[in-house]
């Protein structure tokens, strides 16, 4: 019998946004500068505040009392004021969702200063958002050529390469980003996805574990780690990951169910039953939990207890082939041979697995022979 698993679907993280998208319109900049002057600060001499791995200068604006996020400084010379002014206008337009206007300002900015890495980076983000990945890749690459150790550019270029199916090209860029910014959980998470997709599950587990260490309150990371450990038969690690998830979110349907799967694979049937029942408490219409609960009782050599749970799974999902297969074995174990035969035939009608159909047909032939021979067989 095969234990059914939920299929995990993962997608790469969202791209990093420009660090200096202003929360206040460009018209507020003079007021902000006045506020800085009154505080005895210059715009260029302000302290740097680190937020989500991105260095930005933070200033309280007099206009509206809001916060302004000033342009993060990248490698290379400081751009001419005219280029920087165009860049800030581009960001303001982007904030107001005037995308074409933002692109025009960025292009003008680069005509003034072709070495302005941040402008190429922002053009990359805009085209990435527009799903124009080839253009986004070109702009990110130009930004990276100007500033080869910028973590944000490395990260977002990796995202584009990932989306275009160029995972092997994305991997060294992410590895470099991880070296430059070892405390960024998103980078380790994404690196784990690439390792896993490339078949290097050991390195993927290391990357996911590092991500959970850096972001210990993210249940999704523990779910990914648990599923990967389970698939590599590291059941103890999987169980540990799922329990960490449930410590954060006790009502996680998938967390409780996946924990029951790993517990079953480790042979802990009583705990399997416990977490199956918890899953059903959360969602009484979850057919897979009933099937798993039936399997736990069957493996405890209690097939009579298993039968109603298999039947409930089928009632909830009449196309659930695995539940028919398991119910057939439970009927056979309790010597309800005619019901077993009928249920196995229903299983054959519902599965698309050619190998399992052949195996079940062979089993049915033996069962019919046994029924013909009578109770003494």
The string of pLDDT tens digits covering residues 252-309 is 999 999 999 999 999 999 999 999 999 999 999 999 999 999 999 999 999 999 999 9
Look at residue 74 and tell me whether its pLDDT is greater than 90.
no
User: Which has the minimum average pLDDT: 63-77, 79-93, 139-153?
Assistant: 63-77
pLDDT of residue 297: 98
Question: How many residues are recorded in the chain?
Answer: 377
Beta strands in the chain (DSSP E): 48-51, 54-60, 67-70
In Å, what is the CA distance from 371 to each residue of 93, 347, 353, 360? 79, 19, 26, 16
In Å, what is the CA distance from 125 to each residue of 64, 98, 101, 176, 206? 28, 14, 15, 20, 29
Q: Are 223 and 258 in contact (CB under 8 A)?
A: yes
Binned at pLDDT 50, 70 and 90, residue 373 comes out as: confident
Mean pLDDT score of the chain: 83
Of 353, 372, 281, which Cα lies nearest the Cα of 1? 353
- Calculate what percentage of the chain has a pLDDT beyond 90: 76
Look at residue 122 and tell me whether its pLDDT is greater than 70.
yes
Distance CA 217, CA 239 (A): 17
Look at residue 72 and tell me whether its pLDDT is greater than 70.
no
Q: What is the mean pLDDT of residues 97-114?
A: 95
Evaluated on CA atoms 339, 344, 346, 347, the torsion sign reads positive
Sequence ranges of the domains in the chain:
17-34+47-148, 149-198
Distance CA 124, CA 21 (A): 15
Look at residue 348 and tell me whether its pLDDT is greater than 50.
yes
User: Which has the minimum average pLDDT: 59-63, 185-189, 294-298, 359-363?
Assistant: 59-63
Backbone angles phi, psi at 67, to 5 degrees: -115, 135
In CATH terms, the fold of domain 17-34+47-148 is 1.25.40
pLDDT of residue 78: 56
Distance CA 239, CA 215 (A): 19
Look at residue 48 and tell me whether its pLDDT is greater than 50.
no
pLDDT of residue 319: 96
User: Which has the minimum average pLDDT: 49-53, 173-177, 230-234, 319-323?
Assistant: 49-53
In the chain, % helix, strand, coil (3-state, to 5) comes to: 65, 5, 30
Look at residue 41 and tell me whether its pLDDT is greater than 90.
no
Q: Are 116 and 83 in contact (CB under 8 A)?
A: yes
Distance CA 90, CA 100 (A): 9
Look at residue 2 and tell me whether its pLDDT is greater than 70.
no
Distance CA 124, CA 143 (A): 9
Backbone angles phi, psi at 56, to 5 degrees: -135, 155
Q: Are 195 and 204 in contact (CB under 8 A)?
A: yes
pLDDT of residue 354: 95
């Amino acid at each position: 019998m095969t234990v059914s698993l939920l299929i995990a679907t993962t997608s790469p993280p969202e791209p990093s946004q420009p660090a200096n998208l202003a929360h206040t319109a460009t018209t507020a900049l003079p007021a902000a500068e006045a506020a800085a002057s009154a505080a005895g600060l210059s715009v260029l001499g302000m302290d740097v505040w680190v937020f989500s791995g991105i260095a930005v200068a933070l200033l309280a604006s007099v206009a509206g009392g809001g916060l302004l996020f000033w342009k993060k400084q990248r490698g290379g010379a400081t751009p001419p004021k005219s280029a920087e002014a165009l860049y800030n206008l581009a960001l303001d337009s982007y904030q107001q969702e005037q995308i074409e206007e933002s692109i025009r300002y960025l292009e003008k900015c680069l005509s003034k200063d072709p070495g302005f890495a941040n402008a190429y980076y922002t053009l990359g983000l805009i085209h990435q958002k527009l799903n124009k990945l080839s253009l986004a890749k070109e702009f990110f690459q130009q930004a990276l050529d100007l500033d080869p150790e910028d973590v944000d550019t490395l990260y977002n270029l990796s995202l584009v390469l990932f989306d275009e199916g160029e995972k092997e090209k994305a991997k060294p860029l992410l590895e470099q980003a991880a070296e430059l910014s070892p405390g960024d959980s998103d980078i380790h998470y994404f690196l784990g996805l690439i390792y896993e997709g490339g078949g290097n599950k050991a390195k993927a587990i290391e990357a996911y574990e590092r991500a959970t260490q850096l972001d210990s309150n993210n249940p999704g990371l523990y779910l990914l780690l648990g599923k990967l450990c389970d698939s590599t038969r590291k059941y103890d690690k999987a169980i540990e990951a799922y329990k960490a998830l449930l410590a954060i979110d006790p009502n996680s349907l998938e967390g409780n169910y996946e924990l029951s799967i790993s517990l079953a694979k480790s042979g802990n049937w009583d705990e399997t039953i416990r977490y199956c029942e918890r899953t059903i408490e959360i969602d009484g219409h979850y057919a897979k939990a009933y099937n798993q609960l039936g399997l736990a009782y069957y493996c405890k050599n209690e097939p009579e207890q298993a039968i109603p749970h298999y039947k409930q799974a089928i009632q909830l999902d009449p196309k659930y082939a695995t539940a028919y297969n398991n119910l057939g074995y439970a009927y056979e174990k309790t010597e309800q041979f005619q019901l077993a035969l009928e249920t196995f035939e229903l299983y054959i009608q519902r599965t698309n697995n050619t190998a399992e159909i052949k195996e079940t047909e062979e089993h049915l032939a033996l069962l019919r022979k046994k029924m013909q021979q009578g109770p003494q067989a």
